[in-house]
Amino acid sequence: MTLQDSPFLRACRRLPVSHTPVWFMRQAGRSLPEYRRVRADVPMLEACARPDMITEITMQPVRRYDVDAAIFFSDIVVPLKAIGIDLDIKPGVGPVVEEPIRDASDIKRLRDLEPDDVPYVTEAVGRLVEELGDKPLIGFAGAPFTLASYLIEGGPSKNHEHTKALMYGEPELWDELMRRLASITLGFLKTQIAAGASAIQLFDSWVGALSAEDYRASVLPYTSWIFGQLADHEVPRIHFGVGTGELLGLLGEAGADVVGVDWRVPLDKAAQRVQPGIALQGNLDPATLFAPWEVVADRTRDILSRGRAAEGHIFNLGHGVLPTTDPTMLERLTAFVHEETAV
Ligand code: CP3
């Protein structure tokens, strides 16, 4: 097998596969004891800047689960930190921004990202691509809306009120902010692609907070621009957000090759909501992994069956692995999907 023939890349391109490929969002992380060990004395953002740690942590779930793709270990706020935004990732909280971005002069702090700003990314991707061989490495970035929310709110937010206030009330400022963030996001993705990542996922985790109309007017143009700029790079583009049942068609319209679906919309319904020519990724509720195995198996069979309505299916959870998940469940689940779908 070659990298380009891997089930993951074939499914992204809607080609027949020898088994349904599997990977898990947040497959590297606190659910793994080996992760907790290497991270014990190293703050999250420091780990994200050390090629040795990035490489080791990215490989941990690949060794343990036999997943069909690795996802680069980093965080959506790494490029923001790299251009000098004063932020940290607080354990159990998430990204926290020292001085939130709220006005025109704040926005000027957002400059473009150059590959030289993140040399550790280039180095770690290079090492990983070599170590992974025919297994794809997925690069990723946060999408402008989700990044804007952290920057404007100053941290995680339930209602995104300051973000929406700026979006609804100051459209010119919003446009300038989203343009700058789109450019930073593109820079981060291009850096990973140039170093050898063979697919990318754009996470717009919190965009499900918007109506379709607001998404179309205030988010779609910037995401479309990012995907458009990547069109010539020939790497599949995956797009995912939580609670995006009403937005699935628009996420595809933005220019994704694969749309990630959370657990709220069955995949056969999701297939009707995206236009032809798009593969789907998903969508087991991560909390299911706390139920008995029989429940996991039944629900997985159902997802695989509904996934046949899509032009291509990559099995994943509907959002990230929860930190207290039993890793043996993920190991069993990976093997189960492979067995059930082997041709
Ligand atoms: O998926 C992977 O295994 C790759 C690594 C990855 C991380 N963050 C590592 C991480 C990826 C793809 C991300 C993306 C990310 N970061 C997103 C989009 C994906 C999603 O979940 O919707 C978002 C919204 C963030 C922001 C962020 N960073 C959050 C919400 C948190 C968790 C806060 C907490 O402690 O519960 C982080 C920190 C973070 N990013 C951790 C990891 C492994 C935990 C750090 C730790 O070990 O303490």
pLDDT given at position 1 = 85
Q: Which residues line ligand 1 (CB under 6 A)?
A: 25-30, 39, 44, 71, 73, 75-76, 89, 91-95, 140, 146, 203, 205, 320
* Sequence-ordered alpha helix ranges (H) in 134-266: 144-153, 161-169, 171-194, 212-218, 220-229, 248-253
Return the CATH class of domain 3-341: alpha beta
pLDDT given at position 309 = 98
pLDDT given at position 212 = 98
How does pLDDT run across 168-215, given as a tens digit for each residue?
999 999 999 999 999 999 999 999 999 999 999 999 999 999 999 999
Active-site annotation holds for 75:
yes
Question: From CA 322, how far away is CA 217, in angstroms rounded?
Answer: 33
pLDDT at 24 over 90: yes
CA 217 from centre of chain: 23
How does pLDDT run across 282-319, given as a tens digit for each residue?
999 999 999 999 999 999 999 999 999 999 999 999 99
Q: Pick the catalytic residue: 13, 30, 264, 299?
A: 30
Distance 251 CA to ligand 1 centre (A): 21
Active-site annotation holds for 39:
yes
How does pLDDT run across 86-118, given as a tens digit for each residue?
999 999 999 999 999 999 999 999 999 999 999
- Beta pairing, strands 137-142 & 87-90: unpaired
**209 is known to lie in a ligand binding site:** no
Domain locations in the chain?
3-341
How does pLDDT run across 41-58, given as a tens digit for each residue?
999 999 999 999 999 999
Q: Is 335 within 8 Å of 41 (Cβ atoms)? A: no
264: pLDDT confidence band, cut at 50, 70 and 90? very high
What mean pLDDT comes out for the span 253-261? 98
Active-site annotation holds for 109:
no
pLDDT given at position 199 = 98
Q: Which of 221, 227, 162 is nearest to 200 (CA)?
A: 227
pLDDT at 60 over 90: yes
How does pLDDT run across 120-154, given as a tens digit for each residue?
999 999 999 999 999 999 999 999 999 999 999 99
pLDDT at 65 over 90: yes
